[in-house]
Amino acid sequence: MVTIIHGGNIVLSRKKLDEYITDSWTIRLDAQSDDILKITNSFEFRELFSQKKTIIIENLFSPKAKDKDKIIDLINGIKKGKIDIVIWTDRELNQKEIKRIEDASVIFYDLPKFFYSLLDSLSPKNSLQTRKLLQKTLKESTDVQIFYSIVKRIRQLLIIKTGRYHDFEEFKTSRDWQIRKLQTQAKYWKETELVNIHNKLFVLEYGLKTSELPMNLADHIDFLLLTL
């Protein structure tokens, strides 16, 4: 059996992935760092034993994945009865990508309804609306998840401002409508404003990683949005 776990809600998708990590018969592989030889050997090793095994492959559909086409051919050609295969990715896959894996069971975890509204509302002089959305989003998502999503959105807007987003890996899987939406949002920002908030987020991230934040992270995010 092959299971695909995908979607923007990484907290829930990771929690689901953990359910498949049960015992010593589970092998975890990363398509960004493990080549086809290691992955092939893992599959062949598991087939030597009669007990059913689980192989987890992360980041198969990442732009940085090694030997993606060969790995997909390997998955589609394996005898599924002896091996359970779980494919995890940190984003929503499109139907073309999903259909490349034959007879797969698909589990999708989307972000809460207010999450995208919060990210899309990030713009100068819109702090009141953004802070209201933050409070609603905190009821359904963790402050850490919100923080890193804001970091990612600000980084994306900075890249859009350069006009060279085609050169960046994270945009190679973006759809046209997503690019257009980011371009529209970027128009509300001056590049210096984006750099300023990006620097503030960097300081917050350092404090988060070193456990040196004087307040809880949610309060820091709220204060940061107040300065927009």
Are 120 and 97 members of one domain? no
Task: Give residue 39's pLDDT.
Answer: 86
Q: Which has the minimum average pLDDT: 103-107, 136-140, 189-193?
A: 136-140
What is this structure's pTM? 0.73
The whole-angstrom separation of Cα 99 and Cα 89 is 15
Tokens standing for 221? 């995010």
The whole-angstrom separation of Cα 91 and Cα 173 is 10
Task: Give residue 124's pLDDT.
Answer: 94
Q: Which of 56, 82, 108 represents a domain boundary (last residue)?
A: 108
Q: Which of 55, 88, 108 represents a domain boundary (last residue)?
A: 108
Are 121 and 102 members of one domain? no
Q: Tell me the percentage of the chain whose pLDDT exceeds 90.
A: 64
Residue 144 maps to which CATH number?
1.20.272.10
Q: Which of 75, 3, 12 is nearest to 46 (CA)?
A: 75
Name the residue type at position 33: S
Question: Which residues are 58's β-sheet partners?
Answer: 30, 88
Are 17 and 103 members of one domain? yes
Say if CB 146 and CB 221 are below 8 A apart. Answer: yes
Mean of pLDDT over the chain: 90
pLDDT surpasses 90 at 143 = yes
pLDDT surpasses 60 at 215 = yes
The whole-angstrom separation of Cα 47 and Cα 104 is 20
pLDDT range class, residue 81, cuts 50, 70, 90: low
Per residue in 15-70, pLDDT (tens digit) is: 999 998 876 678 899 999 998 888 888 877 655 555 668 899 999 999 889 899 99
Q: Which of 13, 40, 9 is nearest to 106 (CA)?
A: 13
